Amino acid sequence: MKKSLLALAALGAFAGAASAQSSVTLFGVVDLNVTYQKNNESTWSLGQDGMANSRLGFRGVEDLGGGMKASFWLEGALGPDTGTGGSSWGNGNASTNPLLFRRRSTVSLSNQWGELRLGRDYTPTFWNWTVFDPFGTAGVGSATNLGLSNQIRSITTAGDAFGTLVRANNTVQYFLPNGGFGPGLYGQVMVAAGENAALNKYWGGRIGYAAGPFDVAAAYGQTGVDAADTLKMDNWNIAGSWTFGTWGKLAAFYGDIRVELSTTSPKATQKNYFVAYSIPFGQWNAKASWGHVAQGGIAGFTGNDANQYAIGADYNLSKRTALYATASWISNSTAAPGTTGTNFSVVPGAGGDLSFGKNSSGVQVGVRHSF
């Protein structure tokens, strides 16, 4: 009997040690708000994703010994206003289906030499949008309203190729170890084979340096936009920020996208800029930004320029829960007033189509809870 008890105790200790070497975490964000938007008409709605994108996910890590770790990450978009799966762009996956892990689904191996990651993930050229914009990539204040909205996807029927503006499927990535190749240096490279489908092929990389109050990063990526894989979309950007102690953070961004539509016609072009400032005080965080987009190169695209002005404030009730309010206004300008064209909206694809040259404005007041 005594031996049995000792054996059970030893087994329990072994199981405890084994379980301590691996972990699985449930995480997520629920973000809901009241949205007012004015395009050609005024609309009120219960909206979502005003401060952060709603999501539900699982992630885990296992210590393999010798400094080697294995990990996984499964993350899906939520539509908490209706209780369904949300939308997540990437290689033709503008999904509003039941919850699927389209935000991210990866498995990784990592050690002191870096991380090898496989699966569906953000592209390197997307990261500077979300890292340096204090409004992130959600809500009426996000600079992506001018950069990654439906306009750039509308210029060709090969819309799948433009999913790589955010995510890519079937990817292989390598990430530098944090500080392993020099203090403050970080970076990644990605290749997406696209299962041999031309429209899903992508390759790109990002390199950055962060030290003290300073952070700067540049990224480049290329995607095939035709079935023969002869036409390309080139996408590059650079961004940086400087933190002035308790006086807040200043950030700036420049991006350039060029799309080949044929071997004989000019490329469609889109250039984006934004400058943003954020400052914390107590439980509050105030932020403001200006963004600009200039499109050109082809008929129906040239002259689709716009400016976006945004202000916002967050109040942290706790580390996980915040109240927020954001207001923004987009001023659309065109080269050919009175003709049919594409304009930018504070809620892309919603609130009524804009007449050519009309402006867009919106306000969101909501709550975000993370867990």
Structure tokens at 95: 């999904």
Please report which residue ranges of 100-198 form alpha helices under DSSP H.
127-132, 144-147, 150-153
CB-CB contact of 332 with 344 (8 Å) = yes
pLDDT score of 104 more than 70: yes
Q: Kindly state the average pLDDT of the residues 65-80.
A: 96
CB-CB contact of 176 with 112 (8 Å) = no
Q: Kindly state the average pLDDT of the residues 1-6.
A: 43
CB-CB contact of 29 with 369 (8 Å) = yes
Mean pLDDT taken over the chain: 87
- Mapped onto helix, strand or coil, the DSSP state of residue 95 is coil
Burial 92-120 (b: 16+ CB within 10 A, else e): bbbbeeebebbbbbbebebeeebbebebb
DSSP string, 257-293: EEE-S-SSSPPEEEEEEEEEEEEEETTEEEEEEEEEE
Q: What angle do CA 209, 269, 220 make, to 5 degrees?
A: 25
Residue type at position 74: L
CA dist 132 and 121 (Å) reads 19
Contacts of 214 (CB under 8 A, 6+ apart): 240, 241, 242
Contacts of 350 (CB under 8 A, 6+ apart): 37, 43
Confidence of residue 298 (pLDDT cuts 50, 70, 90): confident
Q: Kindly state the average pLDDT of the residues 255-260.
A: 94
Strands 167-175 and 185-192, by their bridges, are antiparallel
pLDDT in tens, 225-242: 887 788 899 999 999 999
DSSP type of residue 198: G
Domain boundaries, the chain: 25-370
Q: What angle do CA 27, 34, 312 make, to 5 degrees?
A: 80
For the chain, give the percent of residues with pLDDT over 70.
82
pLDDT at 68: 97
Q: Which residue has the higher pLDDT, 339 or 196?
A: 196
Residue keyed to tokens 């001018």 = 146
State the architecture of 25-370 in CATH terms. Answer: Beta Barrel (2.40)
As beta bridge partners, residue 219 has 206, 237
Residue keyed to tokens 């206003």 = 81
Structure tokens at 90: 């990437």
pLDDT at 238: 98
Residue keyed to tokens 């940086």 = 240
Would residue 108 be called left, alpha or beta, if left means φ above 0 and alpha means ψ between -120 and 50 degrees? beta
Please report which residue ranges of the chain form alpha helices under DSSP H.
2-20, 127-132, 144-147, 150-153
Find which of 91-100, 119-128, 291-300 is predicted with most confidence, using mean pLDDT: 119-128
Q: Kindly state the average pLDDT of the residues 244-272.
A: 94
Structure tokens at 297: 């190169």
pLDDT at 54: 97
Q: Kindly state the average pLDDT of the residues 247-257.
A: 97
pLDDT in tens, 145-168: 998 866 676 666 555 667 789 999
pLDDT score of 361 more than 50: yes
pLDDT at 14: 38
Q: Kindly state the average pLDDT of the residues 307-317.
A: 98
Strands 249-259 and 42-48, by their bridges, are unpaired
For the chain, give the percent of residues with pLDDT over 90.
65
Between 127-141, 150-164, 273-287, 322-336, the lowest mean confidence (pLDDT) is in: 150-164
pLDDT at 88: 63
Residue type at position 323: L
CB-CB contact of 63 with 81 (8 Å) = no
CA dist 74 and 8 (Å) reads 35
pLDDT at 19: 47
Residue 104, φ and ψ in degrees, nearest 5: -165, 135
pLDDT score of 317 more than 90: yes
DSSP type of residue 355: P
pLDDT in tens, 7-59: 434 434 434 444 448 999 999 999 999 999 998 788 999 999 999 999 999 99
